[in-house]
Amino acid sequence: MSEYLTVALPKGRLGDKVYNLLERVGYDCREIREDGRKLVFENPAAGVRYLLVKPSDVAIYVEHGAADVGIVGKDILEENRPDVYELLDLGIGRCRMAVASRSDYREDTSRTLRVATKFENIAKQYYASLNRDIEIIRLNGSIELAPLLGLSDVIVDIVESGTTIRENNLKVFTEFMQISARFIANKSSFKFKNEVITRMADKLNGVIKV
């Protein structure tokens, strides 16, 4: 097994916050910030190798051992339930999972509720807890369009500032899950690279504000 600790990091908006956090605890990420198409970055001084992957793929890399540890949103963990250790709540990338619809929407409880979402499992689990009969409409993006075009009654999606919701004339009706970035570890790596993983977790734990 590699001497490096392989860390799967998310690209995109959450990525910038994660690189800042890692740099605060001594894991240099400057190379990642430089614009380029590289997906693998090594930091020999810190003994880490970073893999830059799609946020929704971080947990897959970690579960299958391609990465020893990773940083991923709680929404992805709840949706896919990967078999990994969830060691820390990093307190960054905070947002909420919410039910939203047109601002004039009134729920008709006599009918099956049509729910558009990319978080199929989270939506099913939430409505099962309410014993509400639903029909899932699985979308991969621009979820906000669904109630505007009558494709669905409501959407279940992530809300951060609420701007996208407001700009599309939608309204949040319920927020039911707090989301933030989590530090996760592969179960086998945690056994065989325990010292380096624990060191990284301890350093991160020293600076996070939950």
Give contact residues for another protein (rule: CB under 8 A): 1, 63-65, 83-89, 186-192, 194, 210
Strand ranges inside 56-133, DSSP E: 69-73, 85-89, 95-102, 113-117
In whole angstroms, the minimum distance from the beta carbon of 184 to another protein comes to: 9
Q: Which is nearer to another protein, 24 or 64 (CB)?
A: 64
In whole angstroms, the minimum distance from the beta carbon of 170 to another protein comes to: 30
In whole angstroms, the minimum distance from the beta carbon of 39 to another protein comes to: 20
Instruction: Tokens for 111, please give them.
Output: 């009918």
Q: Which is nearer to another protein, 55 or 82 (CB)?
A: 82
Q: Which is nearer to another protein, 119 or 146 (CB)?
A: 119
Q: Which is nearer to another protein, 64 or 166 (CB)?
A: 64
Alpha carbons 100 and 198: distance in angstroms, whole number: 40
